[in-house]
Homo-oligomer: A and B are copies of this chain.
């Protein structure tokens, strides 16, 4: 086995982590990890990212309870991207209440909502 060498330095300390439902294969979201959030993810088995807007560690689901249990993790050929296969607690990954953050399909004329809304954000995060 080779060592897990993640190239965090290539893009300023962050790598994208694609989150995929481990059973359905649906892509749920993409977020960013730094070395610390990756270590936390490994340690806890729950997806932990780096929030670029809040500039702090972000344990996914900390507020909503919609934690992601990491079932499998993969590293790409260049060592600068991660793929996590997760069990999404609460059924939805997106803060808007949709199952996947990619709930808008791009068509010729514009975007169309095709995703499934699982919860009402007002009830989860407060109105």
Which residues from chain A sit less than 8 Å from chain B, CB to CB? Answer: 1-4, 11, 16, 18, 20, 24-27, 29-30, 52, 72-78, 81, 83, 94-96, 98, 101-107, 109-112, 114
A74-B102, A96-B77, A111-B4 known; A26 vs B25 contact (CB < 8 Å): yes
Q: A2-B110, A2-B111, A27-B18 are in contact. Are A104 and B75 (CB under 8 A)?
A: yes
B73 touches A106 (CB 8 A): yes
**Cα–Cα distance between A107 and B74 once the two chains are bound (Å):** 9
Contacts of A101 in B (CB 8 A): 76-78, 81
In the bound complex, how far is the Cα of B27 from the Cα of A24, in angstroms?
12
Q: B residues within 8 A CB of A3?
A: 110-111
A-B contact pairs, 16 of them (CB 8 A): A1-B107, A1-B111, A2-B111, A3-B110, A4-B111, A11-B52, A16-B16, A18-B18, A24-B25, A30-B76, A72-B105, A74-B103, A75-B102, A77-B98, A81-B101, A83-B102
